[in-house]
Structure 1
């Protein structure tokens, strides 16, 4: 009974390592997005918190907007996530006002840390010696390609005519020997039903 419980717990841990943490973090990101959108729609932010982005527009017959309008979406700049709040077109520029999305940034950082931990990556090492287990796993997981090349160097004056053997190995190896005589053709009249 104890073995079954331990096996179930280990299988649950394995499945969580494979899929569960990703599903949990995706759910948390969706909830953070929903809370941020609710906060923006309810105007629960200060204008001083907004970051302004100006994107040049090269469109003919461009109209200038007098007021901002609500827009949805997000952008990542230098590793920082921003959620769009409002936008307007002004003097051939698209002006976007964004809020930094700190909650989603923390969830994304957690996702990166968990991915590194579950996959045995140590990107925070900064020149320190890696553990012996990491070295062993690295050696095991490296692609190994065992080429057995038999190079022979000959002088320029020597000629090699080994490929002109009388037993004709090149063509004889292309055909497989047949183990027995093929069956005789069977006519439908020979079959007794």
Structure 2
């Protein structure tokens, strides 16, 4: 699902870059900006990003600084909303999170988790690594004198603590 979402996002961004959208669908979002010595921008500039307002996803198209406010023009991203809805429905289906209405049956709905069972953990495997030790023995004996002499530690005075 992440791959499909990334592809859909890149296609939508490409449509925005090519000005292939309905300008009447743009909405304005204004955010106050408090910077010293700020100057107003003459025209809008292209910007990337997204925002979620009341559960609806919007992509930034352009922005402009004017009168102490940053003005973002955004376009609704219905494709993202559909993909996220499909993702949630798939998650519910896979994890059996279907809810039942209590009016239809007098029973309580099943919990939305599955109980962990230890039945597969009861058998302990007794592993023997004797064959591995035999394979490593000639290697360790061949190089042990050279490697031990290279890593001998000398007794030294520890460094003094500076206060």
Shift of 1:46: 2.3
Residue ranges of structure 1 left out of the alignment (5+ in a row)? 1-24, 143-193
Q: What stretches of structure 1 move > 2 A for 4+ residues in a row?
A: 125-135, 137-142
Residues 120 and 134, structure 1, Cα contact 8 Å, conserved in 2: no
TM-score by length of 1: 0.53
Q: Which structure dedicates a bigger proportion of its chain to helix?
A: 1
Q: How does 1:134-145 map to 2 (within 5 A)?
A: 135=110, 141=115
CA distance in 2, matches of 1:139, 1:46: 45
Shift of 1:93: 0.5
CA distance in 2, matches of 1:139, 1:27: 27
CA distance in 2, matches of 1:112, 1:53: 28
Q: How many residues align?
A: 116
Shift of 1:122: 2.8
TM-score by length of 2: 0.63
Higher Rg? 1
2:30 equivalent to 1:54: yes
CA shift in 2, pair 1:58/1:133, >3 Å: same
State the match for 1:110 in structure 2. Answer: 86
Residues 70 and 87, structure 1, Cα contact 8 Å, conserved in 2: yes
CA distance in 2, matches of 1:31, 1:88: 28
CA shift in 2, pair 1:79/1:140, >3 Å: closer
2:76 equivalent to 1:100: yes
Q: Per the alignment, in what secondary structure is the counterpart of residue 73 of structure 2?
A: strand
RMSD: 2.7
CA shift in 2, pair 1:63/1:96, >3 Å: same
